[in-house]
A and B are shown apart, each in its own frame.
Chain A
């Protein structure tokens, strides 16, 4: 039966080990709140990695001067793979950003009772913006 193995944890205030069953099922994104949380965290971590890479790449290229910068940028922006990864970046930004707006609404006390509807609205907007971007980049992708 899935999710039934034991995990041990050192007692926090006591010396003995206690055993709890693993709560794999609690982690299952059955609810909208969990789906939103997973997406926010996964896109967040991905974007951190991207940001650091981007600053390093662009920053060091700028510092190395005109020739180095121009050659790096034309290398990157010329490839199809870049365009596709770029759209993936946009998707991550849209999901993280729009769900983020949802979270800020809750932080100011707005909409908590409608948290599921607001999530789907946010994702619909993200999808809409993403579609716009795909259409706009379309000619480049198809070249």
Chain B
């Protein structure tokens, strides 16, 4: 069996692991803000397009939403990548389904990012 080797793309596994933790901490913050503002501050209030406009006009909150989008997608899809590797795919440094996940992440990120940008 081929010797386990560090991945060809530098120290990828280690960096992905670190980013998983960093995005996790970021998500605690961004999700907290998101849940509070959109749901628990005024329970039962239905969100309207105008309320979204008002919120995104305030730059820190736009950044919080963008942060949530980017961090959330990375954390989620990297998590899936780890699960796939747990089942033996990606052994020997092969990326396998990683490219598909990356593509999915980019597509969803663009959709969400564009929607936010266009609204703003």
Answer whether A and B touch in the complex at a CB cut-off of 8 Å: yes
Are A63 and B79 closer than 8 Å at their CB atoms? no
Question: B17: shortest Cβ distance to chain A, in Å?
Answer: 8
| Interface size counted on chain A using CB atoms at 8 A | 38
Are A63 and B35 closer than 8 Å at their CB atoms? no
Known: A59-B115, A86-B39, A97-B28. A48 touches B80 (CB 8 A): yes
A residues within 8 A CB of B52? 62, 69
Cα A104 to Cα B1 in complex, Å, equals: 33
**Proximity bits, B4-27, A CB within 8 Å = 1, else 0:** 000000000000000001001101
Are A55 and B49 closer than 8 Å at their CB atoms? no
Question: A107: shortest Cβ distance to chain B, in Å?
Answer: 6
Interfacial residues of chain B within 25-42, with CB under 8 A of chain A in the complex: 25, 27-28, 31, 35, 39-40
> Is there a chain B Cβ closer than 8 Å to A8's Cβ?
no
A residues within 8 A CB of B119? 62
**B→A interface (CB under 8 Å):** 1, 21, 24-25, 27-28, 31, 35, 39-40, 43-44, 46-50, 52, 69, 72-73, 76-77, 79-80, 83, 104, 108, 111-112, 114-116, 118-119
**A→B interface (CB under 8 Å):** 12-13, 41, 44-45, 47-48, 51-52, 55-56, 58-60, 62-63, 65-66, 69-70, 73-74, 77-78, 86, 90, 93, 97, 100-101, 104, 107, 133, 136-137, 139-140, 143
What 4 pairs between A and B have smallest CB-CB spacing?
A59-B115, A62-B115, A140-B44, A66-B49
Given A63-B118, A90-B35, 5 additional A-B pairs, CB 8 A = A52-B76, A74-B46, A77-B46, A93-B35, A139-B44
